Each structure stands twice: as C-alpha cells, then as structure tokens.
Amino acid sequence: MTRSPVTDPGSLDALFAPRSIAILGASDDPTRIGGRPLAYLKAAGFEGPIYPVNPTRETVQGLTAYPSVADLPEAPDAAILALPAAKVEEAVTALAGRGVKACVLFASGFAETGDTALQTRVAAIAREGGMRLVGPNCLGAFSVPGRFYASFSTVLDRGLPKEGGLSIVSQSGAFGSHLYFLARQRGLGVRHWITTGNEADVSVAECLHHFAHDPGTKVIMAYAEGFGDGEKLVAALEAARAARKPVVFMKVGRSEIGAEAAQSHTAALAGADAVADAVLRQFGAWRARTTEELVDVAHIASTGALPAGPKLGIVTISGGVGVLMTDEASDRGLDVAPMPDAAQAALRARLPYAGVRNPIDFTAQVFNDPAILSDSLKLVLEQGGYDAVTAFLTTVPGSAANAGPVRDALEGVRRAWPDFPLVLSMLVDEPLRLEYEAMGYPVFADPSNAVVALAGARALREGFDRPAPPHVPAADKPLPDGPLDEHRAKALLALAGIPVPDEHLATDADKAVSAWYAIGRPVALKLVSPDIAHKTELGGVILGLNDADAIRRGFQAIIDRARDHAPDARISGVLVSPMEAGEGAVECLIGVQRDPVFGPVVVLGLGGVLVEVLGDVTFRRAPIDRAEAMRMIAELRGAALLDGVRGRPPADKAALAGALVALSRLAAAQGDAIDSIDVNPFLVRPQGQGAVALDALIVRRQDGKADKA
C-alpha cells in the first residue's frame, strides 16, 4: 500500500515560535486587514524584530517599513501576507527565495472559487523553497507563549488570550474564532490557535500532529469539513493518543447536502462521513455533534480527570432531573448502577427521606442543612464504586443564605478527592462559577450537558487505554493473476483465515455429480464467471439438489442460461457447494471498501433488510484486532440478533470477530491492490459452531474492473 509521508511535527516550529516576522501589505491603520496583525503583535509584546513591507510608506505603525522582501535586512522566520490574490504568487516567490520558513496567507480567490491552478502554483513555489504555507483563505494563526499573532480576526479586539493548555485547529476561520471565544468564556487558557483554510500546504492533520508532540499542549480541539490525507490524520491521532492528549473533534458534513456544502466551502474532501466517524472513534478522538458539546468535553478534558470506567453516580436535589440525567447517561453508554446495599443503608440512616439507589436524591433538605451535601457526596465517593459523579444543585449554591456554606462543603469534598471526575450542574453568577472552576469543578448550567461531557471524557479515557492498532506488513506476494471469480476469491479468503464451505468447481456435469457424492448431502449449484455479476437474476443459482440426475440437469441449465444471457462471457464452470443449515444462524455482511481518504476500510452489517433498508453497518480502518472487531459487532443496531432473541441461540460472535480480523489483515497487506471485498452472506452459526462465507466478490483496483462472483 502506498502511504503518504507524515510531516515532521518540528516543521511547524517557525510558524508557532518565529523569532522574526515580515508583514507584506502592512497597513498603518490598525483596523484594516494589513494593520491588525501588526497591532496585535505590538500589543502582545512580540520580542523579535517585525518588518512591515509597504512600498508606499517609510513607517507603518511606528516601525520602519521596507519597500520589498529583497530590501529586508534579514530573512525573517515567518511572514504574513495581507495582499490580494493577484499579488500572492510574486510575494511567495520572493519569500521562498529569501529562505523564509513559514508563511500565513490570508487572501481568498483560490481553490474555494475554482482557481485551483493559482493555488497549485503558489503551493509548489513554497514547497520548493522549503517554506510551510498556511492558507490561503484563512484567518491565520496565533501562539500565546510566543506572543505571535498572525491573524486579522476581530475576536482579538476583545483582549488577547490568557495562556493555557488548549490548542485549537480549524479549517474554517470564522468558526475557529468562534470556538476560541467560547473556550475563553469557559475560562480555558489557549496555547496555539490556527485556521488552515484551503490547506494548500499545512493541514488540520499536520497541526494535530504538531500539537500531539508539543509539551505545552494538554488538550486539542479541532474542526474540519473534510480530510485530504487520511494517513496523516491517523498518524496524528495515534501520536495524540500515545501522549494521552485528548482530541475533541467536530467533523461536519454528515448529511449528503452538508457534505456538498463542505466541498464548496473549502474545496476539502468531505469523504464518506460514516467512515470518518468510525476512524475518529477507532483512534481515540471524541466527535462532538454540537459546538456546545465540543467546548464542554474539552472543558472536562482540560481538568485531566477522565473517568476510568462507565459507572456514573448522580446526586441531585430534584428527582425529576435525576431521571432526566439517567436517561441521557443511558443514551450515551454510561452505567447508572445502583449504590451497593451497605452504602444505601448508610445514606438512608443519614437521610431517611432521600432516594438512595442512584440517582441519589437528597431532596430540599439541603436548604436546611448544607452539610447534607458534603456528607452525601463523601459517602457516594467512598462507597459507591463510581468512576465519575455529577451533582445537580440548581440555584441553591447561588443564594445569599447558602452560597458560603455550600461553597465550604464542596471545597472540602474537592480537597479530599482532588483528581476524581466530579462535575457540578448549577446556576450561579459568573464570579462564583469561576470560584468553583478554580477548585477543580467543571460547572454546567444544563444537567444533560454535564452528562454528555462526562460521556465524552469517558470515551477519551477508553481510547487512551486501548493498545495501538496491529501492524500488518505488506503482502509478500501480489494477488494471483487471472480473473478472481467466486471460486478463486474464496480460495484467497481461505488462505487469509476466513472460513469457506467445502465446495468444488465442476467443469462438466459428471464432475458436478462426483462433487455431490464427495460432499455427501444436498448441494447448491452456482455459475462461476468473472463477467456475470448477478448470477441469480439469470437463473445461475439452483438450491437444494440431492439427486444425480437433477444435478446433471441443473448443471446444463445453468450453462445454457449463461450462454444465452452473455454469449461472450468467460465461464469457469459451476460451483458445487453444500447446503449450509441456516437454523439458528444469522446472516451478516462483512467486507472491505477502499476509502479515497483512509484506504482499506472494514465493513460489518447484518444481512437482509437491516443492511438494505436500515443501513445498519459499521466501519473500521484496516487492520483491526479482536477487541476492535467486538466493538464493531456491539455497535450494530441489530446486535441483539447476535445475542439471541425470541428463543434463538446466541450467535458465534467470536467466529465473526475472527473473520473480521482476518479480512482486515488481508486488506491491509494487499493495500492498493484491492478496491473492495464483499462477503455476503457470511453465515454466523450458533455459539461454538463457527461461521462460513457463502458468497464472495473481490474487485481489483489496478484496472478498475470488477472480477465478480
């Protein structure tokens, strides 16, 4: 498989930590696009030299101006281009010629408007000169510790950011600014911020990779409309996971119309969203569906307190809200398990009128005795066995009478459990909220949002705890020459470890009868031709034969029908297959498709209507291990069918998982040689009885033609 190189994360050092800066198109007016970056750099106290380039002025905002790049006293580390598109190519050529290491290009009018040629030329010039290029069509970047502000975003007019451990990357400039300000409102300090625009060079994936290796970055927030290089994205996600740095991701374009809009906006590849979703999940990122969720999960992740398991304790002063939070937790895969019996008894002794199972409802008594809150929480934390706890307190902590006692009670709890995932939902004024945040409590106004954020934090921790994906070397020999009809496709699957029936290829009627004798039970006859894809429609499949004369007649009928239907088709013969008993078995679809962004992707679905009508399928990038295969099985909406329902025995999920692993390894080893593999139906027998591939289709990628069963 051809793999794209992963950029050295150090190649972006000049972008996030330059020692000197040139601004082309620098304006004396700090409100203009060419004036804002200079004004922000001066306000931040950038310590290196700043070189405004403006041929019409001697000074710009009090600094000496230079008429051209050639006139600069040195080659700056980085450059900001606040120039119209028509002047960009000349400017980039000059900068690359001087040895500038990084360039931020604001201008629009490139691939997003259809001018891919200009964008391609500019990117090539930068690449040949060894200069990293951000944009075009972006709002730039900034680095708080480096006091570097290469942006004209008006969000910086509302004050420069405070430094922290959150780094943000966004394809969209406006939305990137929006995310930064929301994070700021939540009190999150920022380290780096970058918008990649059209991604002529620097991509979201490369920025993720840089942040994963950046010691000061603790949490990564990302927004993308599409991915252009799946290999780089996977490498970045793996680097972040290895460093145990949470990645909270918003990928838009879930709907068909949304995907089209994403492509028209930035000319990025939207790709198949279901595959992108699976890859983000597989490699440990949390995909947020709303902006609020994106910031909320990043907020909890920034505390470093990620739940080690799914068990959630809910403490509330409202039984109704406890039910609301329980429902949300169930929807999000969290376990609202009851308190142990001994803990319930201890809590009931303290609060005779409380609900003590889980949610723990200590009622309005907290108004009379705020110590109830700390006593309840301490007991839940000590004896509940929970991985995280959330408390709904509504407006109680903000009332004049309760503010001090409740704050003291909760401060004592946090001192005793400083690193435990403990989240509050309450309505208080901003100064008091910040006090609780300083104690280490993430605070949410909406109780459902608190639960969703904890679910995201739990998923991030689960991703950290998974082993790295298996490494599969490239195949030591290519696919066999010649057409991969069903018989040859199954032979290839069998070599890979995927179970297939004991079947025989017959080239005449007598050999078909001999094959039936060898099998010793009723058989199916199936046409084998690489040129006829839909053999059932022409009568190329006959089932349930258990008589020599019937088999001879069936063989000849299939051959005659094939010749009448497609006189020029290549006919390999007729496959004689044992009739597989379907009693208690579940038909599944397993396969591989080559995604244009992520390469070989494993597919699993339940057969019949669940695939065709409900689209009940799930994906993983190949290769996968057995644990990942079991997670795929559990994700199916119809997974209960495999567990056994209405008296049916449970299916052999271990055999299904083994086949998925084997298929993924075959796909990863063959890489670009295979366009798709379709095994349908894949019959999963009752537990302990294995599984078998009843049909197979392999499509080569080299010539784009299908060698079909």
Domain boundaries, the chain: 9-301, 312-465, 502-578, 586-707
Cα 297 from Cα 300, distance rounded (Å): 5
pLDDT value at residue 256: 53
Burial class (CB in 10 A: 0-12, 13-18, 19+), 473: exposed
Look at residue 263 in the predicted model and tell me its pLDDT: 44
DSSP 308-320: SSSBEEEEES-HH
Q: For 316-351, how does the pLDDT look when each residue is reduced to its tens digit (9 = 90+)?
A: 988 899 999 999 999 999 999 999 999 999 888 888
pLDDT-based confidence at 257, cuts 50/70/90?
very low
pLDDT for position 510: 95
Q: Prior bond to 136 cis, omega within 30?
A: yes
Q: Confidence band (pLDDT; 50, 70, 90) for 706?
A: very low
522: pLDDT strictly greater than 70: yes
CB 423 within 8 A of CB 300: yes
Q: pLDDT band at 4, cuts 50/70/90?
A: very low
User: For residue 287, what are its two tokens?
Assistant: 């995909």
Q: In the prediction, which pLDDT does 533 show?
A: 75
Question: Which token pair is 414?
Answer: 């946090």
Q: List the end-to-end C-alpha distance of the chain, in Å, as a whole number.
A: 25
In eight-state DSSP terms, residue 572 is -
Length of the chain: 709
Question: For 21-46, what is the mean pLDDT?
Answer: 97
Q: Supply the mean pLDDT for the chain.
A: 91
Is a pLDDT exceeding 70 seen at residue 264?
no
Look-up: residue for tokens 């208690």? 584
- Residue 620 and residue 652: Cα distance in Å, rounded? 20
pLDDT of 7:
60
Cβ neighbors of 645 (< 8 A, separation 6 or more) are: none
589 φ, ψ (degrees, to nearest 5): -115, 125
Strand, coil or helix: 151: strand
Pick the CATH number of 9-301 from 1.20.1090.10, 3.10.50.40, 3.30.429.10, 3.40.50.720: 3.40.50.720
Phi, psi for 98 (deg, rounded to 5): -85, -10
β partners of residue 482: none
- Residue 366 binned pLDDT confidence (cut-offs 50, 70, 90): low
pLDDT tens figures, 104-135:
999 999 998 888 999 999 999 999 999 999 99
| Per-residue confidence (pLDDT) for residue 2, from 0 to 100 | 36
pLDDT of residue 33: 96
| Domain covering 502-578, topology | Dna Ligase; domain 1 (3.30.1490)
Three-point CA angle 538, 540, 542, nearest 5° = 125
pLDDT tens digits for 487-502? 999 999 999 999 999 9
Q: How far apart are CA 284 and CA 445, in angstroms?
A: 27
Tokens describing residue 533: 């894809």
Cis peptide before 681 (omega within 30 of 0): yes
The answer, yes or no, to whether residue 704 has pLDDT greater than 50, is no
- 9-301 and 586-707 have identical folds: no
Which among 151, 101, 96 is positioned nearest to 121, based on CA atoms?
A: 96
Split at pLDDT 50, 70, 90, the class of 709 is very low
Ranges 100-109, 301-310, 640-649: which has the least confidence: 640-649
For residue 402, what pLDDT is reported?
85
Structure tokens at 657: 């998982």
pLDDT tier at 580, thresholds 50, 70, 90: confident
Burial class (CB in 10 A: 0-12, 13-18, 19+), 364: exposed
pLDDT at 608: 65
Residue 623, preceding peptide bond in cis (omega within 30° of 0): yes
pLDDT in tens, 136-187: 999 999 999 999 999 999 999 999 999 999 999 999 999 999 999 999 999 9
- Please name the residue that has the structure tokens 């009478």: 401
Read off the pLDDT of each residue in 604-629 and give the average, rounded to a whole number.
85
Distance (Å, rounded) from C-alpha 388 to C-alpha 315? 11
DSSP 460-516: HHHHHHSPPPPP-PPPSS-PPSS---HHHHHHHHHHHT------EEESSHHHHHHHH
The lowest-confidence range among 525-529, 544-548, 612-616, 690-694 is 612-616
- Determine the Cα angle at 18 with ends 16 and 22, to 5°: 115
pLDDT greater than 50 at residue 665 = yes
Residue 534 binned pLDDT confidence (cut-offs 50, 70, 90): confident
What is the CATH number that goes with domain 586-707? 3.30.470.20
With residue 505 as reference, give the H or E element that holds it.
Answer: strand 504-506
pLDDT reported for residue 254: 63
> Is it true that the peptide bond before 359 is cis, omega within 30 degrees of 0?
yes
Identify the CA nearest to 183 among candidates 259, 294, 74, 286. Answer: 294
Residue 153: how many CB atoms within 10 A of its CB? 22
Q: What is the DSSP letter of 650?
A: P
595/593 Cα distance (integer angstroms): 6
SS3 417: coil
Please state which of the four CATH numbers 3.20.20.100, 3.40.50.261, 3.90.1150.10, 3.40.50.300 is assigned to the domain occupying 312-465: 3.40.50.261
| Res 270: pLDDT | 34
